Amino acid sequence: MASINTALCSFGMSGLVFHAPFIEEHPDFNLYGVLERSKNLAEETYPGIKTFRTLEELLADEKVDLVVVNTPNITHFEFTKKAILAGKHVVVEKPFTVTSKEAEVLMALAKEHQVLLSVFHNRRWDSDFLTVKKVLEQEVLGDIVEAEFHYDRFEPALSYKVHKETPTEGVGSLYDLGSHIIDQAIQLFGMPKSVFATLDGFREHSKVVDYFDVKLYYPHHYVTLKSSYFVREPLPAYSVHGTKGSFLKSKADIQEAALQKGVKPNTEYWGVEPEKEQGWLHYMKNGQSIKTHQATEIGNYMAYYDQISKAIKNQENLPVTAEEASLVIKIIEAALRSHQEKRIIDL
């Protein structure tokens, strides 16, 4: 196969910031087309790109190999299903789907039609998360007792994107932000045995969830996942405590900020955090207390598309499987049910 002709299903922030720059920069991909119903924004940034006015027109183009479904959450199932039925490989923005039943349908269809289906959980390649992962792999903290992950902001105002503030299925911070740290928790600790959640909305006139506190119960430890839009002074994004010590790390990955400024991936110092953001590692070794900064790993979202290319061209493993992403949706469903019923939900 020559270059992988790739088409985006929208060109908002997701397309402009998180997908197009990597597809354009990667030697194995060709940023072939984009779905824009009335505007031509992609053409202004990428002259020569093909603009489609309907999804049907995009899917009918035989030159399209890979479709990126980066549309509002509620449309993920419909768009992905149509792309699979058209014989296209698909990358779906997180969250994968609104329900786990939808996820199961898409996984079965992808298998039936022999196309690849992956979900863009890019935060697995954040510098801060990669550092937490490395510390846990070193096993210096002993047996883990508890961990707490935060994805906080200070944004009292409602979003200008109407679909993000309209109370429909798949809307709210549990889906938009929670899916990131739920996926990270699963990557580090596996699936929990049960879930308890508190959900709320604190912004003035908010009609959707903008605060969550989700407790994941494991056989021998607990994980808390939290997000609020009213955190002016951030807490550590990652706190992990074990029988031999603790690790604290700020949320400091620079990739999103760099992309928003128009910096291209793979430039010098790409994904390198400021040294001042190094995490604190404090643990016991041979009866001695050791407190030191932990060198930060380098963030690299391009690794996702590197592996997508290898999966398409060489039948290697996907960077994120649909099965993995469906587990995130199962936890979200459990959290929604827990909040509604005010009880712990067993998985």
On whether the CB atoms of residues 198 and 339 are closer than 8 A, the answer is yes
**Two tokens, residue 187:** 């990557």
The total domain count for the chain is 2
Name the region of 54 (left: φ>0; alpha: ψ -120 to 50; beta: rest): beta
> Model confidence over 13-24: pLDDT tens digits?
999 999 999 999
Same domain, 38 and 104: yes
> Model confidence over 165-192: pLDDT tens digits?
999 999 999 999 999 999 999 999 999 9
User: Is residue 34 domain-resident?
Assistant: yes
**Two tokens, residue 280:** 């604190």
User: Is residue 261 domain-resident?
Assistant: yes
Same domain, 199 and 245: yes
User: Is residue 324 domain-resident?
Assistant: no
Same domain, 52 and 127: no
pLDDT given at position 1: 62
Same domain, 244 and 289: yes
Which of 99, 120, 141 is at the close of a domain? 120
Range of weakest confidence among 65-69, 80-84, 218-222, 264-268: 264-268
- How far is residue 68's CA from residue 206's CA, in Å, rounded to a whole number? 30
Which of 120, 137, 170 is at the close of a domain? 120
Q: Confidence band (pLDDT; 50, 70, 90) for 3?
A: very high
C-alpha torsion angle, residues 337, 342, 344, 347 (rounded to 10): -10
The neighbour count for residue 42, using CB atoms within 10 Å, is 22
**Two tokens, residue 183:** 């996926």
**Two tokens, residue 55:** 């999804």
Percent of the chain with pLDDT over 90: 97
pLDDT given at position 258: 96
Instruction: Look over the chain and give the mean of its residue pLDDT values, rounded to a whole number.
Output: 97
The CATH number of the domain holding residue 212 is 3.30.360.10
CA distances to 59, 171, 269 from 34, rounded to whole Å, are: 11, 24, 30
**What average pLDDT does the segment 198-211 reach?**
96
Q: Confidence band (pLDDT; 50, 70, 90) for 2?
A: confident
> Model confidence over 124-143: pLDDT tens digits?
999 999 999 999 999 999 99
Same domain, 150 and 260: yes
The CATH number of the domain holding residue 15 is 3.40.50.720
Same domain, 136 and 252: yes
pLDDT given at position 134: 98
**Two tokens, residue 10:** 């929208």
User: Is residue 190 domain-resident?
Assistant: yes
On whether the CB atoms of residues 174 and 199 are closer than 8 A, the answer is yes
Same domain, 156 and 269: yes
Q: Is the pLDDT of residue 111 over 70?
A: yes
Q: Confidence band (pLDDT; 50, 70, 90) for 46?
A: very high
Parallel/antiparallel/unpaired status of strands 194-200 and 211-217: antiparallel
Question: Helix or strand or coil: residue 247?
Answer: strand
Same domain, 88 and 171: no
User: Is residue 83 domain-resident?
Assistant: yes
**What average pLDDT does the segment 99-119 reach?**
98
**Number of helices followed by number of strands (H, E) in the chain:** 13, 15
pLDDT given at position 315: 95
Burial 75-104 (b: 16+ CB within 10 A, else e): bbbebbbbbbebebbbbbbbbbbbbbebbe
CA distances to 54, 123, 131, 146, 150 from 126, rounded to whole Å, are: 34, 5, 9, 21, 14
User: Is residue 310 domain-resident?
Assistant: no
- How far is residue 6's CA from residue 66's CA, in Å, rounded to a whole number? 5
On whether the CB atoms of residues 225 and 212 are closer than 8 A, the answer is yes
Same domain, 212 and 340: yes
The neighbour count for residue 74, using CB atoms within 10 Å, is 16
Full domain range(s) for residue 83: 4-120
User: Is residue 133 domain-resident?
Assistant: yes
Closest CA to 210 of 178, 238, 237: 178
On whether the CB atoms of residues 91 and 66 are closer than 8 A, the answer is yes
Q: 32 has which bridge partners?
A: none
> Model confidence over 283-323: pLDDT tens digits?
999 999 999 999 999 999 999 999 999 999 999 999 999 99
**Which H or E run includes 165?**
helix 162-165
Same domain, 341 and 238: yes
On whether the CB atoms of residues 178 and 126 are closer than 8 A, the answer is no
Same domain, 113 and 148: no
Same domain, 106 and 129: no
> Model confidence over 71-86: pLDDT tens digits?
999 999 999 999 999 9
Which of 120, 136, 160 is at the close of a domain? 120
